[in-house]
Amino acid sequence: MRMLQSKIMVVYSSYFKQERGLPVKLRLPFLYFSGKRTIVLWIFMCAVFLLIHTESASASASIVKVQEQGFSLKLDSYLTIIKDKDKNKDVYDILKVVESGANGPHTDPKTNFGRTDSVYWGYVEIVNDSDNEVTTVYEIAGRNEHVELFIENAAGDFTRKIAGTEYPYKQSGLKYRNIAYEIKLLPHESKKVILRNASLLVRFPVTLWDQDSYIAKNTRDALLLGITYGIFLIMFVYNLFLLLFLKEITYLYYILLVLSSWFFFMVINGTAFKYIWPAQPFWETRSYMFFNMVMMVCLFLFIRSFLETRKYAPKLDGLISLWIAYCCIGVAASLGLDFVTSRTLLPFINFPSLVFAVSIGVLMLRKQGRFAASYLFSFIPSFIGAMFYLLKQFGILPFNAITEYSLQIGFTLQIAFVSIALANKINMLKSRLIVVEQSALQSQKDLTHQLSEKVKERTSELEIANAELEKLSRLDSLTSLYNRRYLDQVLQEELQQHIAEQADLSVLICDIDYFKNYNDTYGHVAGDWCIRQVAEAISENCGSDGVVARFGGEEFVVILPRTDEKGAAVFGKAIRQSVTDLQLPHTASVKQTVSISIGIASGIPASGITGNEVLTLADGALYISKAKGRDRVTLIPSLTGKDKTVQIQ
């Protein structure tokens, strides 16, 4: 074997020396291998892989003798296998066949019968060849839908065990990934064990363990699965951070591919059935195809984005889009198909998908060069692993550790290699962009340097001018309230909005009583001071609920959006009381202090009403307040002007 491996490496080395005339050096293959080199490399690797791991079995009698501890026996060649084409035999019919000698031990190392409509039985007799009691474990590996195990008991009858993906996980015997049952043997006791396999894919990967060896084996399996799932988790987290940082959609498709592959392998390995949905055999029988098809969708989305087929190969991109749609239909169909139909259809979906995926890489070699070569290098492991897995399912290859885990090994390598290839592509694209960006940046710096001072100067001047204009255009210089110009603008906008929403709007006009006499008595400077005090009292009452503006002279207007007549009356009384509480002296007034009269127009604005019409209605209410003795609030409860006025003290 070592000589064969050496010859293979010599041939491989000679190939590359002859092709380029260069010495062989250790290089990153996804960076430097052409498509041709990539394919040749993987062919040689797989040849070595199969030569090292080819297994054989030897025939012996259907009796297995076990010792106290430390044994692990593959029962392939010990089993007497009986085909039940009509599916009508029972355990006693099988015993008769065995006792008659019509079927001897299974001498063919192939115990994988692939897809079949027949039921297969496997008979073996286990003998405790020691002086102590021995606990053995009868393990049935792989994904089986329906198996029955008949174990001879002390009464000479058989105890029946039923398990498989069609039944809840708790029926699988020992709580490990595979179906396994304990068989206890007294000193020198023998028991007949008969396995009935009625699955779609019939195989007999049966192993007999002692209890300690079986526990150790499952511990190793759990460690290996943990490493595999850990690689998926690392790739997921690492590329998630890259996605968040780079905002590159290819990373999103890659993350989805990692997640879907992760769940698919959990289904294959039985960990999903054990830990996630142990009591859902219905979903377990459909999850295999569901996650397989989701994985295919994510894979071709990633291929399409990574190789940029839309840009470089539009016709090929159209075919990929059709294939993605085809796989999406498969995702939906998987939820309604039973397990047998799903397992029957999957090879006819997966095999063309894998061939198509590799073909895409080959076709893109001329247009994408290194990117396509790195894609091929990372994808071929999963292609080869999938081929082994499919050939095992059809019974062409034997059931062993290599064929059973080939798909997972291939896809795990693909996930790791694709992540490296993706990072390599991003780095190469960044290197190209850096040159362009540096040139553009230098030009931008030159232009910016020339214009920066002028822009700063002009910006500063414009900011000052705009600030002054904004202040002058909106505010009253005496009270710092909004001015008449801004009031007209806001009132018209509010009217349009309230008419559209059919909401209540209230408008208040406030007038200082006997203000002309106040000016005549105290002077205009004191009059301005009085106006500011009243303006402040009105603003404090309204806060952020309304818009307060100086209407002109001693008059103020308050706009209260979405306020009905009751709310407006409350505001009006509060404003009148606040002005009264100022206790500003006014000897020319009847009350001897400054007071205020208020007119309110309130209600849902009539369609077509204008701001001036609303102010006229409020002014009419104000006129009534003054006519009734001032220092009071009058409300017209309609913005149509048709309703009667209401006096509010």
If one compares 143 and 293, the residue with the highest pLDDT of the two is 293
Chosen domain end from 216, 239, 274: 216
Residue 321 confidence (pLDDT) = 94
pLDDT of 43 strictly over 80: no
220-245 residue pLDDT tens: 888 888 888 888 888 889 888 888 88
Residue 301 confidence (pLDDT) = 94
**Which residues make beta-bridge pairs with 559?**
507, 547
505 and 639 fall within a common domain: yes
d(CA 520, CA 572): 28
Residue 395 confidence (pLDDT) = 62
Average pLDDT over residues 283-307: 89
CATH number for position 90:
2.60.40.2380
Q: Is 472 exposed, middle or buried (0-12, 13-18, 19+ CB in 10 A)?
A: exposed
268 and 235 fall within a common domain: yes
363-397 residue pLDDT tens: 888 887 777 787 778 777 877 877 787 776 666 77
Chosen domain end from 390, 411, 433: 433
Confidence class for position 641, pLDDT limits 50, 70, 90 = low
Tokens of 248: 């590159």
CA geometry: angle 203, 204, 207, nearest 5 deg: 150
Residue 608 confidence (pLDDT) = 84
Q: 630 lies in a domain? A: yes
Chosen domain end from 411, 433, 455: 433
Confidence class for position 24, pLDDT limits 50, 70, 90 = very low
Q: 9 lies in a domain? A: no
Percent of the chain past pLDDT 70, that is, above it, reads: 84
Average pLDDT over residues 258-277: 86
Tokens of 418: 């694709």
600-615 residue pLDDT tens: 998 888 888 888 888 8
**Which residues make beta-bridge pairs with 181?**
138
Q: What is the DSSP letter of 281?
A: H
Q: 42 lies in a domain? A: no
- Quote the pTM value: 0.52
265 and 390 fall within a common domain: yes
Pair 571, 558: CB distance under 8 Å: yes
Average pLDDT over residues 574-585: 90
Report CA dihedral (541, 542, 543, 549) to the nearest 10 degrees.
Answer: -120
Biggest CA-to-CA distance, the chain: 137
Report CA dihedral (578, 582, 587, 590) to the nearest 10 degrees.
Answer: 20
d(CA 75, CA 104): 14
Residues spanned by the domain of 349: 218-433
Q: Is 354 exposed, middle or buried (0-12, 13-18, 19+ CB in 10 A)?
A: buried
268 and 417 fall within a common domain: yes
Pair 203, 112: CB distance under 8 Å: yes
d(CA 600, CA 490): 17
Residue 415 confidence (pLDDT) = 77
Residue 290 confidence (pLDDT) = 92
Q: Pick from 516, 563, 520, 515: which is nearest to 535 by CA?
A: 515
Average pLDDT over residues 419-430: 74
Pair 127, 183: CB distance under 8 Å: no
513 and 411 fall within a common domain: no
Q: What is the DSSP letter of 560?
A: E
* Number of domains, the chain: 3
274 and 355 fall within a common domain: yes
165 and 294 fall within a common domain: no
Report CA dihedral (630, 635, 639, 643) to the nearest 10 degrees.
Answer: -110
If one compares 185 and 641, the residue with the highest pLDDT of the two is 185
480-523 residue pLDDT tens: 888 888 888 888 888 899 998 899 999 999 999 888 888 888 89
Least confident of 427-431, 477-481, 642-646: 642-646
Q: Could you tell me if residue 248 is left (phi over 0), alpha (psi between -120 and 50 degrees) or otherwise beta? A: beta
* Phi, psi angle pair for 512, to nearest 5°: -70, 125
Confidence class for position 55, pLDDT limits 50, 70, 90 = very low
The SS3 call for residue 325 is helix
d(CA 353, CA 86): 36
110-159 residue pLDDT tens: 566 767 788 999 899 999 888 888 889 998 887 788 889 999 998 889 99
Cα 145 from chain centre: 31
Residue 22 confidence (pLDDT) = 36
513-569 residue pLDDT tens: 888 888 888 898 988 899 889 989 888 888 777 899 988 888 999 999 998 888 888
Residue with tokens 């206790």: 583
Report CA dihedral (565, 569, 575, 581) to the nearest 10 degrees.
Answer: -170
d(CA 124, CA 136): 14
148 and 274 fall within a common domain: no
Query: What is the 3-class SS of 66-126, one letter each residue?
Result: ECCCCCEEECCCCCEEEEECCCCCCHHHHHHHHHHCCCCCCCCCCCEEEECCCEEEEEEEE
CATH number for position 325:
1.20.1070
CATH number for position 543:
3.30.70.270
The SS3 call for residue 646 is strand
Residue with tokens 């019939």: 202
pLDDT of 643 strictly over 50: yes
Percent of the chain past pLDDT 90, that is, above it, reads: 12
Q: 59 lies in a domain? A: no
d(CA 448, CA 450): 5
351 and 268 fall within a common domain: yes
Pair 558, 542: CB distance under 8 Å: yes
Q: 86 lies in a domain? A: yes
Residue 23 confidence (pLDDT) = 38
**Which residues make beta-bridge pairs with 465?**
none
194 and 266 fall within a common domain: no
d(CA 143, CA 141): 7
Question: Which residues neighbour 285 within 8 Å (Cβ) at sequence distance 6 or greater?
Answer: 145, 165, 166, 338, 339, 342
**Which residues make beta-bridge pairs with 115?**
201
520 and 627 fall within a common domain: yes
Average pLDDT over residues 443-463: 77
Q: Across the chain, what does the average pLDDT equal?
A: 79
Provide the 10 A C-beta neighbour count for residue 31: 14
CA distances to 243, 256, 266, 291 from 229, rounded to whole Å, are 21, 15, 9, 16
209 and 226 fall within a common domain: no
Q: 588 lies in a domain? A: yes
Q: What is the DSSP letter of 553?
A: T
The SS3 call for residue 127 is strand
Residue 367 confidence (pLDDT) = 80
Average pLDDT over residues 88-107: 77
Q: 638 lies in a domain? A: yes
Q: 45 lies in a domain? A: no
* Phi, psi angle pair for 179, to nearest 5°: -70, 125
